[in-house]
Structure 1
Amino acid sequence: MRYVLCSESHGVLAFYRTSLRLHSDFLSILTNPRIEDILLEVPIEHEHPHRHRRGIIVNKSNKPVAEKFAPLRIHLHYDKSIQNLTTELQIFVNTTLLPEAVGYWENALRVRPMKGPIRLRRKCMSSFYYYKQGMRNVACDKACRELTTCGEADIPADHLLDCLACNNTDDCQTTGNMGVGVNDSDFILYVTAHNSKRCEGPDTLSYAAHCQQEVDFDRPIAGNVNLCPSALSVHNHDYEILTSTVKHEILHALGFSVGLYAFFRDKEGKPRTKRNRYGRPTSLNKQKGYYDWDSNTITTVLREDWWTGDGKVVHPIHMMVTPKVREEARRHFGCDKLEGAELENQGGEGTYLTHWEKRAYENEAMTGTHTQNPVYSRLTLAFLEDTGWYQPNYEVAEDLNWGKQLGCDFAMKSCGEWIHEKKILGQDTFPYCSDIKHDGTKSMAITRCTAQRDSLALCNLVPFKKELPQQYRNFISLPGVNPVGAKYYGGSVEMADYCPFLQEFEWKLIDRKTHKDSRCELEGNGKEGEDILEVYGQNSRCFEFPKPWTERKCGRIRVLSHYMAGCYEYQCTNGTLYVGSYNATDMYPCYAPNQKIHVKKIVDGWLREGSIICPKCEDYCGENCGPPITIPDYIGDPEIDEPCGSFVPFSIFMIFLYFTIFLYMS
C-alpha cells in the first residue's frame, strides 16, 4: 500500500500542496495551541486484549470485553528554565506546587494504562506528512526537525521516536535514534518557567496546553504548563490561587480544551464526532483552528425570552450535552429539563467555549476567571468521564454551593430576572446581590458573609463607562441611580454576564509587600481588633450584624456603616456554639439561630458597640449541637458609660482599607 501525502492541519490533501498558517495571539491569557503544533496518532501500547482500531475492545472470539483502567500516572519533566527561579521558588515549585497539583489529578482519574514507554513523535520540517492506512506511525515530508517542542518546552531526544520521512510516496526511510521513552507513565507534563509574552498580563499566573495525542483513542499524552516567574509567590495568601490555577491549567492539557472536543468518545470507545477514512474528524474549522464537533457534544440553545432591563431578547447559549455532564448539571440545579451545562460565551481565544459559564457556575474552578474559593465539582469530573478517556473518582469532588438546588428558574433564566422576581416577592436575591459598591466617585461598599461563611465579601455591583450590551442589562432601576443610569451598572466580573454577586476582596498596603484579604481563616488578615473587634485565624468564621456598629465619646457618635459582617473566633463546646471577639476574656454563647450577642468595649478611649447575629449551630458545629434551650433576655457585655476623655483620631487603617478596596475592586 502506498503512502498518501497529508497536512498536519487539514488531514488528507491527496497530492497537491497547500498549507495552513493560523494566527496565534500570544498576548491573550489563554491561547489554544495552533493545530499544526498538535501531533496526532502517536503510537503507543495499551494494556488490553486485541482491539479493532478506533473501536471497542474485543477478544480473539470477537466478543466485547471489559477494559482495564488504572490510576493516571503523570510524569513531571522540569525544563532548565526552572533553574532561573530563586532557590526558594525552585523548592516550592518542585516539592509543593507541581506535585500537589499533579497528585490531585492522579488521585481523581483512571485511564487505560500504557503497557510500554511513551515515545513522542518528531515534528516535521513542513506541515505535510505521509500517511499509510494501517500503520501506527506517520512519516514526515522530506525530513524531521532537529528540535521538537511541546509548548514552551524542548522535548529531550530520549523522549522521541526515530524519524520516519519520505521523499515521495514510494521512497521512505527511517533515520536517527529511537529514545528510551518515559516508562510507567500515561502523560508527560513538561514544566517551564519562561517569562513569555503571555506572562505580560498582570492576571496571568500560568498557562498550559496539550501537544501530542495517542493513536488508539486520541487521548492527550503530553503537554506543557508554563509558570510565569513574576507571578510565583511563597506567600501564604497566594497559595490557594496558585495551586488551583496550576490544577486548572493541567486540566486544559488533559482534555478541557476546545481543540479536543471533536476527539471525545462514548463509553464504548467510539468517536462522538464523525471521522473520515483516515480517522480524523471530518470538518476542520480553518478560521478557529480546531476540528468541529458534532451536536451530540456541544449544541447551541436559543433562550427566546431572556429578561433584561430593556425587555426580553433572544439569548444564545452553548451547551455541553454529553450524557454525564447533562446528568450532573440537572442534579446540581434540581432541574430535569436543563439541556446540559453552559460553556463560557465571552472572552477571547482560550476562554470562549473552553470553560464553564461563570454566571451559572461562579466559583467552579474550571470557569474562565478566578474570583474566590475555587472548587472542582462533580460537573468537571463528569466532563472528564464524557471524554471517553478517563474514569473519575467522584469522591474527590468538592461541593459547589453556587446555584445548588435553586431550580430551573436559576439555571435557565437571566440573573436580572432572578433578582427582579425575588424583589417583587420581597425575598432574598441570593446568590446575587444589589448593593452598589461604588458610584464612580465614592465607596458605598458594605461587607457581608459569603455563602460558605468563611470570608467577608462585597457586592461587586459597579458602574461602567459605557452602556452594557442589551442582553446583560440586569436592572430596570437602582436606588439612588437615575433611570437612564441603570443600564451602566453591572457586576464587575464581565464573564459572569455582568451579574452582581458577593465577592471576596484583597488589598496591599502602601509598602506593596503587606498582603491581606478577606478570608477569616488566615491570621495575617487580622487588624489587631480595630473597628469591629474581629479575630482572624484557623478557628474563625464570618458572622453577620443586624445593624452597623457605632463608636461613641463625649456625645459624639460615628457609625461604621460599611460593616454588616465580620470575622470572629468560634468554638463548639457541650453542644453549644460560642463566639469570641478581640481581647475578650470569655466567649459568648449562641443558644439559638438569630439570637443577638451584644458587644460593648472601650477601645482607644471610645465606646465600641455592636451586635452579632447567631447562625444555626449546625452550620458551624455540625452534629456537635445539643437541643435548643430557652434564650436569656440579654446575652453580651454589661452596659458601659460613654467615655469623655482625650480625642483619639478615627482609625487610619479603616480609611485606608476602604480606599484601597475601592481601587482594587473597581
Structure 2
Amino acid sequence: MLGKVKKWRRVKRHHRKRVRELAPPTNQPQPIRIHTWVPRDSPALFQVESERLEPAVREAVGIVSNLLSVNRVPGHLLLSRDINKYCKFIWRNASAANYNKCGRANENYRTETCLDVIIPDDHLSGCSVYSEPDAPTTTVIRPEGAGLPDTDFLLYLHAQSTDKCRAEPSVLAYAVHCQTDSQGRPLAGVVVICRDRLTGEGYSHQGTVQTVIHELFHALGFSKELFSTWRDCSYSQPGMGCSPWGQVTNTDETGQVRIYTQSVIRALQDHLLSTDPELGGPLENLDVGYSGLSSHWESRVLQGSIMAAALGDPAVVRVDPVTLAALQDTGWYSVNHSRAQSLVWGKAVVVNG
C-alpha cells in the first residue's frame, strides 16, 4: 500500500556551470550514437570473456540507441580539459580580454581521467596559456585532439577485477558519467564490468545485456549525481534551451523519496491505475549515500524494472515505461515509448487517493 504524498512544491530553478559549450545542435533528435572505447590500459581478456562481453555490449548499445534520440553532436566529439588541473593561475579580472582564461600552466599536469580511466589526448580539446591579461598571444600546452566522428556519447568500457568488485561480490558492474554538454547531457561515461562475473557459473548473455543497459542508463542520466541537473522541456524540444527543474526529488509523508516529474507521475499512474496527481516514482531506501538519494527504483513497487538495484531473473526484467519516462524527463532525450516493456509485477496495485 502506498501512502498519499505531501503537496510537492517545485523549488526555485537555478543554472549550473557546464563543462563545455558545443556547436549548435541539429534541429531534429536522432538515435543516439554510442561509441564504445576500450582503454589501452585495460587488461587483455581471455577468448571466452571477449566472446561473451563483446556481443552483449553491442546488443545493449543497439537497444539503447533505438530507445533514445538526441540532438546530435556536429562534427567530432571532443571532451574538455579541466582548467583547474592544467592551469596554475587564471585571469580573474572581469574587464580583462582573457578573463577566466589560463595565465600560467601547471607543470605537473599530465592528462584527464574519469573514474580510473585515462582519457586519451586524442579525445580531448586543446588548451593554451595567455601570458598577458589583454594580449591575444598564446602558448599551446596541449594541441587539439582529433575527436571522435559520428559520436553523441562516448562509452569507456573497462572489464577488470577492481577493488570494488572484490569487496562487493554482489556487484556485477558499475558506472559513472564523465562530462556534460552545455545543456547538462552526459557526453561520456565509464562502465566497469567485474571481470570475474564473465566466467562464473550461471553466466547469462541476456543478464549481461541487461546489466550493460542498466549501467548505460546510469551514465546517461538516471543517477543521483545528475538528478539536480535534469531539465524541464514541457515547452521546448529536448536539448533545446529547456529550463532546469531545480529539484526533481522530494520525500512523502511516509519518508519515501520519490521523483516528481510529469512523465514519471503519468507512467506510474498508468502502471498502478491511479488518479493520484502526485504519485512520484519511488527510489530505493537501502542504497542511499550521504545525499539521502538512491540511483535505483524501489523494487517493492517497481520489481523487475531495469533500474531496480538488483535485476534478478533476466526473463522478468523489463525496460519499463516508468524508467523511460524518467529518461524523457531528464530533458536530454526523445524517447521511443513504443519499445517500453510492461512490468510483470505490481500492475494495478491499489493506492490511496
Alignment TM class, shorter chain as reference: 0.7 to 0.9
Q: Distance in 2 between matches of 1:146 and 1:396?
A: 44
After TM superposition, the score normalised by the length of structure 2 is: 0.81
Which residue does 2:75 correspond to in 1? 116
Aligned residue number for residue 5 of structure 1: none
1:205 corresponds, among 151, 161, 172, to 172
- Can you list the C-alpha shifts for 1:555-608, whole angstroms capped at 9, x where unaligned? xxxxxxxxxxxxxxxxxxxxxxxxxxxxxxxxxxxxxxxxxxxxxxxxxxxxxx
| Aligned-partner Cα distance in 2 for 1:351–1:366 | 18
**Distance apart, 1:351 and its partner CA:** 9.2
Work out the CA distance in 2 between the residues paired with 1:130 and 1:352. Answer: 37
Distance in 2, Cα, partners of 1:298 & 1:247: 23
Q: Hey, what's the Cα distance between the residues in 1 that align with 2:297 and 2:177? A: 19
Match of residue 163 from structure 1: 127
Q: Distance in 2 between matches of 1:316 and 1:127?
A: 45
Matches within 5 A, 1:564-575: none
For residues 405 and 141 of structure 1, what CA distance do their matches in structure 2 show?
62
Shift of 1:165: 4.4
Q: Is the 8 A contact 2:87 2:104 kept in 1?
A: no
After TM superposition, the structure 1 = structure 2 runs for residues 649-660 of structure 1, keeping only pairs within 5 Å, are: none
Question: Equivalent residues in 2 for 1:464-479 (5 A)?
Answer: none
Q: Any idea what the Cα deviations from partners look like across 1:226-270, whole Å, max 9, x if unmatched?
A: 111112138664223222111101111000111111211122232
Residues 94-109 of structure 1 aligned to structure 2 (within 5 Å): 94=54, 96-109=55-68
**Cross-structure match for 2:85:** 125
Distance 1:171 1:394, change over 3 A: same
Whether contact under 8 Å (2:103, 2:133) holds in the other structure is no
Q: 1:329 to 1:139 in 2, by over 3 A?
A: farther
Residue 344, structure 1, aligned to residue 284, structure 2: yes
Give secondary structure in 2 for the equivalent of 1:407: coil
Q: Does 1:368 align with 2:332?
A: no
Offset, 1:400 = 0.4
Contact in 2 for aligned 1:81/1:192 (Cα 8 Å): no
Unmatched 5+ stretches in structure 2: 1-14
Residue identity over aligned pairs, in percent, reads 29
CA–CA distance in 1 between the matches of 2:300 and 2:242?
33
Aligned length: 319
Tell whether the 8 Å contact from 2:43 to 2:160 is kept in structure 1 after alignment.
no
- Distance in structure 2 (CA, Å) of the matches to 1:130 and 1:407: 60
Deviation at 1:181, TM superposition (A): 0.4
The secondary structure found in structure 1 opposite 2:331 is coil
Partners of 2:35 and 2:102 in 1: CA distance: 27
- 2:21 pairs, out of 43, 47, 52, with 43
- 1:184 maps onto 2:144 in alignment: no
Q: Over residues 85-104 of structure 1, what are the superposed CA-to-partner deviations in whole Å (9 max), with x where a residue is unaligned?
A: 2122123223x121111111
The equivalent residue for 1:69 is 29
Letter in 2 for 1:298: T
Greater CA drift, 205-214 or 72-81: 72-81
Determine whether 1:301 maps to 2:240.
Answer: no
CA contact (8 A) 1:142 1:165 kept: yes
Describe the SS at the equivalent of 1:250. Answer: helix
Distance 1:90 1:46 in 2: 38
Q: Distance in 2 between matches of 1:139 and 1:87?
A: 48
Contact 1:83–1:90 (CA under 8 A) maintained in structure 2: no
1:232–1:377 Cα change, 3 Å = same
* Partner in structure 2 of residue 148 of structure 1: 112
Distance (whole Å) between structure 2 residues aligned to residue 234 and residue 103 of structure 1: 25
Q: Hey, what's the Cα distance between the residues in 2 that align with 1:142 and 1:47? A: 33
1:359 equivalent in structure 2: 300
Root mean square deviation, CA, Å: 3.0
Tell me what 1:252 maps to.
218
- For 1:327, the aligned partner's letter is R
The structure-2 alpha-carbon separation of the partners of 1:227 and 1:143, relative to structure 1 and needing over 3 Å to count, comes to farther
Choose which of 272, 285, 307 in structure 1 pairs with 2:244: 272
Q: Secondary structure at the match of 2:255?
A: strand
Distance 1:238 1:92, change over 3 A: closer
In structure 2, C-alpha distance between the alignment counterparts of 1:249 and 1:130, rounded to whole Å: 39
> For 1:482-497, what aligned pairs fall within 5 Å after superposition?
none
Counterpart amino acid of residue 250 in structure 1: L
- The structure whose RCO (Cα within 8 Å, separation 6+) is larger is 2
Counterpart amino acid of 1:103? G
Corresponding position: 1:175 with 2:141? yes
- Shift in CA distance, 341/88, structure 1 to aligned 2, threshold 3 Å: same
Select which of 191, 214, 217 maps to 1:225: 191
Q: In the alignment, is the contact (CA less than 8 A) between 2:35 and 2:154 conserved in 1?
A: yes
Counterpart AA for 2:221: G
Local SS of the residue matching 1:225: strand
* Counterpart for residue 345 of structure 2: 402
- Closer/same/farther in 2, CA of residues 127 and 142 from structure 1, 3 Å limit: closer
Classify 1:44/1:272 alpha carbon distance in 2 versus 1 (closer, same or farther; 3 Å).
closer
